[in-house]
């Protein structure tokens, strides 16, 4: 389950128990806030809902340098800033009017959009097995996979 929320003029895709970094909000650390929800989705079901979040902390972003220059006019201006940010932890997603909320503890794991892709591990390597033969060989009987030695005369 996921939701699209708006904060500070930007839109974010959130899931239960995720951390989100947004522009500075005027709220104390540990305060619980409700975010403006644009869409709440579970598969193909898109409805309006509520998103509850907790303020984890206030931090500052990395430094951004603004350097302006006009050549041949001795015009150089160096300016910069660090953005004030708020870290939020999403507590729950809920539907409007039903009282139903969803947190990570009640998440069943059936959603395919939040499940990580699994890649099967390769099988064990047999050291006694013969090496695979190259598909093509050059006129000297060597493999064309490493043609740098043949082209440099080594």
pLDDT tens for 4-36 read 899 999 999 999 999 999 999 999 999 999 998
Query: Residue 131 has which token pair?
Result: 């090496």
Percent of the chain with pLDDT over 90: 44
Identify the CA nearest to 55 among candidates 88, 91, 79, 104: 88
CA distances to 82, 124, 126, 137 from 87, in Å:
15, 44, 49, 59
CA distances to 7, 81, 82, 108, 144 from 140, in Å:
67, 64, 63, 61, 10
pLDDT tens for 26-62 read 999 999 999 988 888 776 556 677 899 999 999 999 9
């Amino acid at each position: 389950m996921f939701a699209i929320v708006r904060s500070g003029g930007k839109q974010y895709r959130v899931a239960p128990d995720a951390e989100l970094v947004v522009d500075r909000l005027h709220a104390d650390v540990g305060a619980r806030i409700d975010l403006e929800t644009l869409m709440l989705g579970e598969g193909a079901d898109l409805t309006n809902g509520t998103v509850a979040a907790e303020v984890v902390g206030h931090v500052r972003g990395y430094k951004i340098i603004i350097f302006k220059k006009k050549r041949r006019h001795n015009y150089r201006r160096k300016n910069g800033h660090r953005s004030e940010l708020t870290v939020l932890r999403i507590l729950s997603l809920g539907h409007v009017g039903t009282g139903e909320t969803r947190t990570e503890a009640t998440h069943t794991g059936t959603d395919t959009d939040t499940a990580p892709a699994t890649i099967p591990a390769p099988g064990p390597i047999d050291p006694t097995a013969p090496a695979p033969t190259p598909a093509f060989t050059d006129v000297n009987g060597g493999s064309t996979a490493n043609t740098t030695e043949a082209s440099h005369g080594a």
